[in-house]
Amino acid sequence: MNVRALNRALLARQHLLDRSSGSAAATIEHLVGMQAQAPLAPYVGLWTRLARFRPDELASLVTGRDAVRGLLMRGTVHLVTAEDARTLRPLVQHVVANGYTGHFGRRVGDADLDAVAHFGRALLDERPRTRRQVQDALSARWPEHDAEALSYAVSYLVPTAQVTPRGVWGSTGPAVLTTLEGWLGRPLACRPSLEAVIRRYLRAYGPASVADVQAWSGLTKLREVVAPMGLRTFRAESGEVLYDVEDGVLPDPDTPAPARFLPEYDNVLLSHANRARVLPPGRRVPLPPGNGASRGTVLVDGFYRADWRLRPEALEISAHDRLTAAERAEIETEAGRLLEFLAAGEMALRFTES
């Protein structure tokens, strides 16, 4: 199976060949969550995938606690459905915990992290708090330790949710944490099925190798899980074995792929160990700061070939290579739709090319 075939399969399963008529909730579930470090990024991610998406549809899911943001796959912030939050956090908890050790292990010294987590859970069960508020409480309890490092232990070791208004279109606010169980009003799943989650990943991102599944989830040693699952297999050009669900969509590799604007951190760019199916050789995924919905990447003929950024005076498109007249026209049309979605008025469009 060549790169172009994998590209078209990924685009089709991500609703990036044809926009879906489905709902925001169903799409978030199908994608097994959306990267949401930039809290407003999922709004653009849904707009580019859905035919009739409006921001208030996702805002209602978030304020109604039917969708939630928290640390999940790869130890990064994702937006998922409430039910997926209950399932996914137990499966990736040791990934999240290991991320804490990697980032803060040297700073915590001999602190009793179990005691810190227990104390932090009680704080967040009492009421939602900002990280600074958690840090101040921990500083008073353990004055001899690095309170900032301990505050991160709470969010990494205790399953937490970031509460609204953060992540609500048209609103703003700091990251405020509470326990995931408290926010959802339900306990986390006791014995979630890893095999079921792997099948869902393949349905949205496959065909994929074991290394790809591990790159998406952050989990390791998955070959012994994937191999016995009875999945159909393909052989990549590299010789690597690719796994897939039986009903996984496989479009003709020559299917036209329209220009698509992706938000910051979109999982299309981040969910494979081998990213050649969407990234040209040598190109890295940009990881900009910010709240989201202001910059991202552009797929042209299915591949990452430009960046976009909403500036005060113009929507700027920075192409990485020469665009044909047809490609540029297609981008301009899609850019107009994006500006309409962002309610950016009659803003100009500015192109730059490498």
Total residue count of the chain as it appears in this document = 354
Q: Which two tokens stand for residue 71?
A: 């640390």
Q: Is 80 helix (H, G, I), strand (E, B) or coil?
A: strand
For residue 317, give the H/E element and its range.
Answer: strand 314-319
Distance CA 117, CA 114 (A): 5
Q: Which two tokens stand for residue 234?
A: 């393909």
- DSSP letters along 23-77, please? -HHHHHHHTT-EE-SSTTHHHHHHHTTBTT--HHHHHHHHHTTSEEEEE-GGGSE
What pTM does this model have? 0.95
The tens-digit pLDDT sequence of the chain (354 residues) is 999 999 999 999 999 999 999 999 999 999 999 999 999 999 999 999 999 999 999 999 999 999 999 999 999 999 999 999 999 999 999 999 999 999 898 898 899 999 999 999 999 999 999 999 999 999 999 999 999 999 999 999 999 999 999 999 998 888 999 999 999 999 999 999 999 999 999 999 999 999 999 999 999 999 999 999 999 999 999 899 999 999 999 999 999 999 999 999 999 999 999 999 999 999 999 988 889 999 999 999 999 999 999 999 899 999 999 999 999 999 999 999 999 999 877 788 999 887
Q: Any idea what DSSP says for residue 106?
A: G
Helices 210-217 and 194-205 cross at an angle (nearest 10°) of 100
For residue 204, give the H/E element and its range.
Answer: helix 194-205
Name the nearest CA neighbour of 31 among 16, 40, 39, 18: 16
Name the nearest CA neighbour of 182 among 125, 121, 131, 130: 125
Pairing of strands 314-319, 348-353: parallel
